[in-house]
């Protein structure tokens, strides 16, 4: 028996053997995808819920296979993390995103925030700060407009190390958002210690806003918590106007989701932006 991630015990089975083979194959494919540049980055707009103004974009990686089909990041990011490839991939995404923001500005778009997901493996790597600094210098991005998204669980583990690293990131002028907030178990006192700027409500809790279940209360609690700590609160996965209105009513500042736009290629984003402000 093997302890699974959820803490329950599962038996090895032939099914699992083929699952492992499948993952090995995927990992080999990922390695060649990196080499042959089949990875790219898309950008999903973030808006101010009250004014509708576009405030930023989140960079999200995409992998398109040779046959044209896509592999979801939820499938290959864990493999990239387990194999250590995430360090190189994450650095590449960071540079692409910084370069793209500089390009958006050159095209005359107003200053937007660029949010980049950072895996815990990447964040804990001894060269992380050095690479971050190099990306800033090489791309010429103003660090004030760069934000790193780290997940709640990452922020809470190994508190001393995390605190130190987060402070140094902040010293570079970069802001920090706690991603997937509400899925972990951080306490108010833990959260209060962290040098962060934004709480990001996971889309699971946004989806529950439209149903009459307790999930809506989680969104309400996260918003209240964030506001009490003087943080900006952003909700992801907003798909309809009802959810946007509920979130606004609860005091949520910003939002992101298919209601506004799906993650877009750079050219699609500038087109979307221009149509929106026209
Ligand atoms: P996440 O950081 O929580 O990103 C939000 C996910 O929700 C994205 O999925 C986004 O496309 C999706 N989404 C946004 N709005 C909506 C909506 O209205 N409805 C629905 N159903 N989905 C929406 P995506 O792009 O598939 O990424 C999945 C996860 O993969 C991300 O979750 C993040 O944890 C990870 N990921 C993506 N890109 C990167 C990256 O460059 N580096 C790292 N370390 N992780 C990444
Ligand atoms: Ca994110
Ligand atoms: Ca996530
Ligand atoms: Ca999420």
Q: What is the pLDDT of residues 28-86, one digit of tens each?
A: 888 887 877 789 999 999 999 999 999 999 999 999 998 999 999 999 999 999 999 99
pTM for this entry: 0.91
pLDDT reported for residue 2: 46
On the question of pLDDT at 216 being above 60, the answer is yes
HEC states along the chain? Answer: CEECCCCCEECCCHHHHHHHHHHHHHHHHHHHHHHCCCEEEEEEEEEECCCCCEEEEEEEEEEECCCCCEECHHHHHHHHHHHCCHHHHHHHHHHHHHHHHHHHHHCCCCCCEEEEECCHHHHHCCCHHHHHHHHHHHHCCCHHHEEEEEEHHHHHCCHHHHHHHHHHHHHCCCEEEEEEECCCCCCHHHHHHCCCCEEEECHHHHHCCCCCCCHHHHHHHHHHHHHHCCCEEEECCCCCHHHHHHHHHHCCCEECCCCCCCCECHHHHHHHHHHHHC
Instruction: Compute the distance from residue 109 Cα to the ligand 2 centre, in Å.
Output: 23
What ipTM was estimated for this complex? Answer: 0.98
Pocket of ligand 1 (CB under 6 A): 44, 60-61, 72-74, 77, 90, 93, 117, 119, 179-180, 203, 236-239, 256-258, 263
Q: What is the pLDDT of residues 221-264, one digit of tens each?
A: 999 999 999 999 999 999 999 999 999 999 999 999 999 999 99
On the question of pLDDT at 213 being above 90, the answer is no
Give ion ligand 4 contacts, CB < 5 A: 180, 202
């Amino acid at each position: 028996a093997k302890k699974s991630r959820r803490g329950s015990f599962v038996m090895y089975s032939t099914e699992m053997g083929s699952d492992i083979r499948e993952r090995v194959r995927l990992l080999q494919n990922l390695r060649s995808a990196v080499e042959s540049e089949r990875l790219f980055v898309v950008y999903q707009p973030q808006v101010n819920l009250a004014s509708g103004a576009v405030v930023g974009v989140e960079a999200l990686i995409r992998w398109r296979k040779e046959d044209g089909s896509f592999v979801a990041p939820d499938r290959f990011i864990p493999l990239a993390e387990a194999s250590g490839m995430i360090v190189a991939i994450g650095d590449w995404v960071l540079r692409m995103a910084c370069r793209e923001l500089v390009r958006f500005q050159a095209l005359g778009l107003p200053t937007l925030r660029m949010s980049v997901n950072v895996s815990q493996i990447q964040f804990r790597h001894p060269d992380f700060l050095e690479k971050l600094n190099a990306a800033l210098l090489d791309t010429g991005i103003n660090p004030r407009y760069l934000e790193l998204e780290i997940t709640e669980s990452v922020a809470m583990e190994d508190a001393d190390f995390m605190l130190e690293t987060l402070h140094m990131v902040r010293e570079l002028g970069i802001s920090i958002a706690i991603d997937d907030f509400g899925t972990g178990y951080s306490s108010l006192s833990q959260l209060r210690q962290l040098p962060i700027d934004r709480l990001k409500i996971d889309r699971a809790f946004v989806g529950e806003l439209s149903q009459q279940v307790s999930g809506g209360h989680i969104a309400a609690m996260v918003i209240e918590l964030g506001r009490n700590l003087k943080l900006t609160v952003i909700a992801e996965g907003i798909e309809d106007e009802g959810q946007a209105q509920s979130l606004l009513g609860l005091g949520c500042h910003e939002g992101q989701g298919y209601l506004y736009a799906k993650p877009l290629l750079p050219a699609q984003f500038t087109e979307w932006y221009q149509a929106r402000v026209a």
